[in-house]
Chain A
């Protein structure tokens, strides 16, 4: 396949290295150094996509991140699919496979173009909503086809084989963009010794210097680029990141950079030294100072059919010719409002192709470049512009006419020029996206006809990013910004000698956005403003006519600047058009807000290494391996993996959860079970005021708890609502060990510190987490004492070691603290040993426990057993709106404590004192076989018209093998006074369950079993 648009020489490509690739299934060839876009143009590919809404054929318009049309789907394999890649930003590699993202069935022959061709008036802004809104039930059907025809790339259906990661970077000066301003800034900052990070989104650093016609110190500009990059690369304090886009500028100079490390090499990351390498990487940069040297984007002119393939930005033409050795057509017409764009005509002519004419909207163009063009014999039509492109799948001509800019009208007869390429330039827009992310509203400058960024402290813009365009001035501006940034970061920086660039005399540009046409905008050929979202000048006119006057509303109504485009090409033109229609100035209309990300970021880079097995942190107890080996199913509790239940294999069949839990419950009630309770939070509390402190943060009394004793405690917030509970043991007069719920551990410790540090610093007490130091195993059931007696030297006599006592001794040869507390209602010993010994102790218990039927149980059984006893779980039976009294736990409230403990005052507020608050009760389903749904709503009268007054909900519900019945805990309005009454639970499927309100204590109300 021939590269018919490839020049024989010139450009930065390596003609000796041929690379083959496919586009939409066809094979082509390009060279090393090409982007996919330059290779497509070299091969004369005009149509790269179908447009989003009207399905019009589209070609490549730009050469960089602002490209709106050439958005392609990459990937050879299903797993390697990457959507929404700009062909202008994708380096060519051998074997690259790309497809158009839009166009169904294909880009050449597209179904939707029929609808599109029916004419613009059929598809005004809001077309889909207006057209397919009725009947609503059919939207789902319409949507499927609309989405398919619109397309926007697709995600892979198989797992991505590549790896991604994050790197946390810190630097004194971050320079974004390595064009002339960025390189000068980085160089000056780097020489001061500051830590400098320089990133650039392109394959090569150098920016405009890679395709400029200008000389630096009388040498080609790329020589200086190479010298500077070499110096920077040699410095230890500099990190260079090519192929790295600064996508988001967040608070306090936190900038996210997306580095594409292997995207230029292959479809999936090749091995390096036999090892996998990271495909793309997110750099999370915390910078001291930031220099935005992001340059400027050229604005296209908005004229009729300006979307037909063959319409390009003037600067893009120069870039393709000078950097890639590609001239994307034969006969050029240039339409411009400024001098700079003349480069395109000069470059075109130098590559041996014909420049038909330059339509310059200014009456008397007279800059140096204009003179050059004139001297070369190029026809210049002053005071004129291309008003309409001819052709469908490729430009075939340009209609040029004199235009009256002030009157917004065509001022003379149009002349049709024969050409296949129209380059246009309406001036330049500083790339202000990143500055905009920081919240600064940009400022319009009439002298440069563009918005410049409003900058927060610590960030500066340099060069094109703030409207400085002449190369010599850009270098100086960058150098100054680098010096300032380094100085502000605390380094002694001085200016460096930058190369001399011959100053060029440029004529003033004129303001031209939408080009007038003979016909009114609504009836003339489509004039595209936002090519990616198919927003036309007519669409903006409709929007303003329909009353959308705020630019933010116009944006949302028309979709201008949406999606991956983020208004790079179209926004200023759109605002200018809206401003003209509304009779306001551009600054009065203002600009919309740019948001991260600047260009799309692959999910892989966002996720980094936080996926698959490393998706979240997992916490294991010291007995975790034993649980795994014994077939435990696990439940997530906070970050902990806790055994949920231990299914056994019976006759080759694995028990269901229901069967396992029933067996585990019976073992605890009838023999002995063991639970890994290591996950409970444990806080070591020391200090002479420890006891006083406990009295203030717990609802109950602590003044008289003696060493050797344990007490249950309830914690409230100052609004009187329960938020955690647990037992606290008195280890010494000034020494306590507090336990918290598994999920509440960190929060409770922070809570204690909050009160100590901010309210009661005079109390002498320290809190230290010892959760991980101790492993905890609960041995519980009628046989627990016998089992324990085999492996401990602690006197287990029921008088010597009572319920709610703790003792110290040896268990299985290991120093242990044993607590006689019970969450099952059975005789129970909680053994605490240093975690490194835990597995030994656990296994020793099993070595001795077989004869007693020792059974491991998990959290599900624990829940059933505690619920049978009416023991609450904070966070399950409470939800931040439940007081101790609502729980019926008056016994745990010390109303007469001297200090007004946290929560006390709130308990007498009118709302907390109400008698019809939702109160904790037990529910006994009338049908014992029913296990009520947790969360089910409760009503008093099931015959009440909908909406029924809901009076509470089920908080915990299980089947109890001991009671042989379903049972539940619930909160019910005024429930404590409604014992024996019937409530109803209407379910989504129409069933209504009936249940009796009973005491929440279903088993052993006197607590005799735990006291044996």
Chain B
């Protein structure tokens, strides 16, 4: 759509950056994973996060052309590209979350805008506002049961699903990209609370943090 001000909020210059969990590591530490850790936490900071708004039919073609994957049209759908580096997730009937390697998001936005032309849609950059936290390990599911109200049983939460739900006293986007791996998309301002919660709730599983 024309008449929208796009803006690359990232710079190539060597500027110190801080992930949403940077403060948390300093404040609460990051216990290293051991052989006994039944769950491991890993932040994947500085990825490109775009919020895509529009009708599914309109967006699908552009997404396929630009991102090479089809838009998940069904509720709670999560689609990844072949190497799992890029993903697109259904958030609402007219809203999707795209996550790509950091630095790709502005170019992606421009290409999508070009492909979508005059259609009615919106793209907002949320890269600075959220971070991706991975949980992996046999106790990951039980740790999630302590934290989220959504049913995370494999029969109800298969690989390729993602939901927005309540996490303790905040909210997260919870996704399951692989059999043994869960992803939490956490808002920046709540990241420290979420991290402290996970360390505390994960203590009995010997939670470790990979950095």
Contact = CB atoms under 8 A, between A and B. Distances in A.
A734 B53 CA distance: 15
B206 interface: yes
A623 to B, nearest CB: 10
A36 B198 CA distance: 37
Interface stretch (B10-18, B81-89, B132-140): B10-18
Contact of A275 (B150, B188, B206): B206
Contact of A686 (B1, B45, B145, B156): B1
Interface stretch (A446-454, A832-840, A973-981): A832-840
Contacts of B23: 620, 624-625
Contact of A168 (B51, B120, B124, B149): B149
Given A614-B196, A622-B188, A773-B129, A686 B4 contact: yes
Interface string A402-435: 0000000000000000000000000000000000
Contact of B122 (A169, A276, A684, A837): A684
Nearest to B166: A168
B23 to A, nearest CB: 5
A29 to B, nearest CB: 33
Contacts of B4: 686, 731-732, 734-735
B184 to A, nearest CB: 14
Interface residues of A, number: 65
6 contacts: A195-B155, A618-B192, A622-B188, A768-B122, A772-B187, A773-B127
Contact of B192 (A169, A272, A286, A620): A620
Interface of A: 165-170, 195, 272-273, 275-278, 284, 286, 609-610, 613-614, 616-622, 624-625, 639-640, 679, 684, 686-688, 707, 731-735, 764, 766, 768, 770-775, 808, 810, 812-815, 817, 833-840
Contact of A815 (B8, B17, B129, B169): B8
B15 A840 contact: yes
A48 to B, nearest CB: 36
Interface in B197-211: 197, 200-201, 203-204, 206
A616 to B, nearest CB: 6
A834 B196 CA distance: 24
B64 interface: no
B46 interface: yes
B5 A732 contact: yes
B16 A839 contact: yes
A609 B168 contact: yes
Given A165-B146, A770-B126, A834 B9 contact: yes
A766 B15 contact: no
B148 A815 contact: no
Contact of B128 (A617, A775, A812): A775
Given A168-B145, A617-B193, A735-B3, A773 B126 contact: yes
Interface in B64-115: 94-95
Interface of B: 1-5, 7-11, 13, 15-20, 23, 26-27, 36, 45-46, 51, 53-54, 94-95, 120-130, 142, 145-146, 148-151, 153, 155-156, 168-170, 187-190, 192-193, 196-197, 200-201, 203-204, 206
A890 to B, nearest CB: 32
B21 to A, nearest CB: 11
Contacts of A278: 204
B189 A621 contact: yes
B196 A613 contact: yes
Most buried by B among A170, A624, A770, A817: A170
Given A808-B5, A808-B7, 12 more contacts: A165-B201, A639-B170, A686-B123, A687-B1, A734-B2, A766-B54, A771-B189, A772-B189, A773-B126, A836-B46, A837-B11, A840-B15
Nearest to B148: A168
Nearest to A707: B5
Contacts of B146: 165-168, 609
Contacts of A679: 189
Contacts of B206: 275
B182 to A, nearest CB: 15
B206 to A, nearest CB: 7
Contacts of B189: 619-621, 640, 679, 771-772
A453 to B, nearest CB: 27
Contacts of B200: 609, 614
Nearest to A276: B203
A815 B128 CA distance: 13
A687 B19 CA distance: 31
B122 A617 contact: no
B120 A814 contact: no
Contacts of A167: 142, 145-146
Nearest to A817: B7
B65 to A, nearest CB: 21
Contacts of A686: 1, 4, 53, 122-124
Contacts of B148: 168
A687 B7 contact: no
Contact of B120 (A613, A688, A771): A688
Nearest to A737: B5
B48 to A, nearest CB: 11
Contacts of B10: 815, 834
Contacts of A810: 11
Nearest to B126: A773
Given A195-B155, A707-B5, A808-B7, A770 B129 contact: yes
A838 B9 CA distance: 11
A640 to B, nearest CB: 7
Contact of A609 (B3, B95, B126, B201): B201
Contacts of A639: 170
A771 B129 contact: yes
Contacts of B196: 613-614
A815 B16 contact: no
Nearest to A840: B16
B201 A815 contact: no
A160 B166 CA distance: 27
Contact of B193 (A619, A775, A833): A619
Contacts of B169: 610, 616-617
Nearest to B51: A768
A89 to B, nearest CB: 25
Contacts of A771: 129, 189
A926 B55 CA distance: 63
B133 to A, nearest CB: 15
A694 B185 CA distance: 30
A837 B15 contact: yes
A801 B197 CA distance: 45
A836 B129 CA distance: 8
B15 A813 contact: yes
A813 B8 CA distance: 13
A610 B155 contact: no
Given A768-B122, A774-B128, A836 B192 contact: no
A812 B14 CA distance: 11
A492 to B, nearest CB: 16
Contacts of B124: 684, 686, 768, 770, 773
8 nearest A-B residue pairs (beta carbon): A772-B129, A773-B129, A733-B3, A834-B128, A766-B122, A686-B122, A619-B189, A834-B9
Contacts of B204: 272, 275-278
B153 A195 contact: yes
A613 B194 CA distance: 12
Contacts of B26: 625
Most buried by B among A166, A610, A620, A688: A620
Contacts of A170: 151, 153, 156
Contacts of A272: 204
B129 A768 contact: no
Contacts of A609: 146, 168, 197, 200-201
A688 B122 CA distance: 11
Contacts of B142: 167
A268 B128 CA distance: 44
Nearest to A812: B15
A276 B20 CA distance: 29
Contacts of A833: 9
